[in-house]
Structure 1
Amino acid sequence: MSTREFVRAAPGLGGMVVSAVGYRSAGVPPALHRGLPSPYLTLIFSFGGPVITGRTPEQAYGADAVRTDIVVGGLHQDPAYVAQGSHEAGVQLALHPLAARALLGVPAGELTSPPVVCGTDLLGARAAEVRERMCAQDTWDERFATLGGYLRQRAASVRYPAVRPEVAGAWAWLARHRGTGTLSGLADHVALSPRRLTTLFRAETGLGPKQAARLMRFQHARSAVTRAVAADRPPELSRIAAECGYCDHSHLVREFRQYTGLSPTAWLAEECRNIQAGAHRYGEEWEA
């Protein structure tokens, strides 16, 4: 008998953590999972053995796959592939990219190549100690509290130059517009030339403003699609495309192929069981 469990916690940390999900599965057939691009960084503490990832399915199943108990993932525009075993457990966080300096000690722009890095290489031995402590704890509340305390300590102790206000203002503008709007309008908002803004934005996040806007728009569209499926309703792609600022249904389908490697229908067929079990809450914005 297979079991899947997903437990969501209030993120906290003043918006630095966008979502926090505990997950556990047992007796599930091994499968290849697509970790989709999103406008958030990924931080995973695995309790059930290393997370095995690759840029391609072949790498994920090959000798050069990345294997690590603590995963840090930067912003990316292609799916990352995860070779999932029959038993898994851990906590996955979605981090605001502008919180990378405070929580990880580096700007998000330094986390794009490779897209996934070993967390202990970046965070040090203390992170491994925190993971071991979480493995020994009995409840999700204890694990979330342990991890939250560790991140608060890092935020209080890491000393790194602050994010430039123009970049912070540009990210907030893009988020407020849900990835719609023009680069010229964004540049006017922060009083920089489009070229200068793009340079600063890419150095901080690893993506240009247009790329980040596309990810934000896709995130909203994908969330709408998965919420419909989780509620046992057919996703109305034409309506979702219009509500999320796409030109038409075909435009949304092209974005799905760009970011998932599949059409919306094929991706939903692949992810249906995970969505119904609650995994669609990964990486979504917290809603009170």
Structure 2
Amino acid sequence: MTSTDFVRADPRGPYAGAVVSLVGYRQRDIEQRLHRGLPSPYLTFVVSLDNPVVVGEREDDPEPVSAYGMLGPLAARPAFIDQPSAQEGVQLAIHPFASRWLFGVPASRLTGLALDVRDVLGAPADALRARIGDTDDWGQRFAAVSGLLAERARTASGAAAARPRPEVVEGWRWIVARGGNGRIDDLAAHVALSPRRLRTVFVDELGFGPKVLSRLVRFERAVAMVRDQTVAPETGSLSDVAARAGYADHAHLVHEFRTLSGTTPTGWVEEERRNLQAGGHRNGAS
């Protein structure tokens, strides 16, 4: 019988802002063999305990990335994850501004759909997996993650320790506050940069311009609404989701969902229904 459990932690402490969500997962006898990783405005950091995470650019990717610690950079396309019958580990959604001190480089320097965390962090990646695997207690596992954050912040130096440009920080805040629905010309005026210069500083830090980041922020809001609608159907229809998320209409929502994820909202729900009902896909984590 399939068993799916998600254990959620409330990130606290001086580095809480770096972690958008922190989730422990344990699944057994999984029937769904392929999981679709949706685009997000946050980095995805996974530490798997029993089986490596296998990520491809398409369902039949002949050369997927396989690793026990996986980092998903910012992307505007889906990743396809092969699911073994049993899996257990910890998944974080990381704020892209934390990439400097956590991974040593701006988020723009982390490219592709998936990276082996050992290639980014080195020995600390193996040490973290060992500490998490040494205990079955989720509190201790989450404490190990917090310990890594603290150590990386304490030892960051040079460019890794530098803050992003204030225009990018304020631009991010502005985009998120508007749910990804603000006009780029208005944002440029707000941070006193030309639209071209605004795009340059965003790409330098995040790898995408403000237009793409706005699409990702709006898409993630829509995904959250679709998730909530699946769990509690009385919350409204897809047309309601489209209106609340800022899409022109239902057709626009479906088109954007297909463009960014490779499937429709209804198709995604059918793929992920069991995870959704078990409490997955909250705050950027699945």
Q: TM-score range by the shorter chain?
A: over 0.9
Matched, 1:52 2:54: yes
Q: Go from structure 1 to structure 2 and tell me whether the alpha carbon gap of 1:9 and 1:76 turns closer, same or farther (over 3 Å shift).
A: same
- Deviation per residue, 1:157-213 (Å, 9 max, x gap): 112222111111100100111101111100111111110010110111111100000
Aligned to 1:135: 133
1:52-201 superposed matches below 5 A: 52-59=54-61, 62=62, 64-112=63-111, 114-159=112-157, 160=160, 161-201=162-202
Secondary structure of 1:137's counterpart equals coil
- Deviation per residue, 1:103-159 (Å, 9 max, x gap): 1111100112x2211101100112201111111112111100011111111012112
* In 1, Cα distance between equivalents of 2:172 and 2:33: 35
Aligned to 2:229: 228
Secondary structure of 2:60's counterpart equals helix
- Number of equivalenced pairs: 280
Deviation at 1:232, TM superposition (A): 4.5
**1:178–1:213 contact (8 Å) kept in structure 2:** yes
- Deviation per residue, 1:45-66 (Å, 9 max, x gap): 111121000101111xx3x211
**1:70–1:119 contact (8 Å) kept in structure 2:** yes
Aligned to 1:203: 204
Aligned to 2:275: 274
Matched, 1:19 2:21: yes
Matched, 1:9 2:40: no
Q: Which moved more, 1:124-133 or 1:31-40?
A: 124-133
* In 2, Cα distance between equivalents of 1:190 and 1:238: 34
Deviation at 1:268, TM superposition (A): 0.9
Secondary structure of 1:242's counterpart equals helix
* In 2, Cα distance between equivalents of 1:48 and 1:3: 16
Q: Which moved more, 1:224-233 or 1:46-55?
A: 224-233
* In 1, Cα distance between equivalents of 2:183 and 2:176: 13
Secondary structure of 2:93's counterpart equals strand
Q: Percent identity?
A: 46
Matched, 1:251 2:252: yes
* In 2, Cα distance between equivalents of 1:83 and 1:99: 28
Q: Letter of the 1:186 partner, please give it.
A: L
* Runs of 4+ off more than 2 Å: 231-235
- Structure 2 gap segments, 5+ residues each: none
Matched, 1:283 2:281: no
Q: Go from structure 1 to structure 2 and tell me whether the alpha carbon gap of 1:242 and 1:28 turns closer, same or farther (over 3 Å shift).
A: same
Q: Letter of the 1:246 partner, please give it.
A: Y
**1:51–1:68 contact (8 Å) kept in structure 2:** yes
Which of residues 28, 31, 44 is equivalent to 2:30? 28
Deviation at 1:235, TM superposition (A): 4.6
* In 2, Cα distance between equivalents of 1:153 and 1:133: 14
Q: Letter of the 1:209 partner, please give it.
A: P
**1:26–1:88 contact (8 Å) kept in structure 2:** yes
* In 2, Cα distance between equivalents of 1:18 and 1:30: 26
Q: Which moved more, 1:153-162 or 1:215-224?
A: 153-162
Secondary structure of 1:44's counterpart equals strand
* In 2, Cα distance between equivalents of 1:273 and 1:116: 24
Q: Which moved more, 1:167-176 or 1:238-247?
A: 238-247
Q: Which moved more, 1:231-240 or 1:99-108?
A: 231-240
Q: Letter of the 2:249 partner, please give it.
A: D
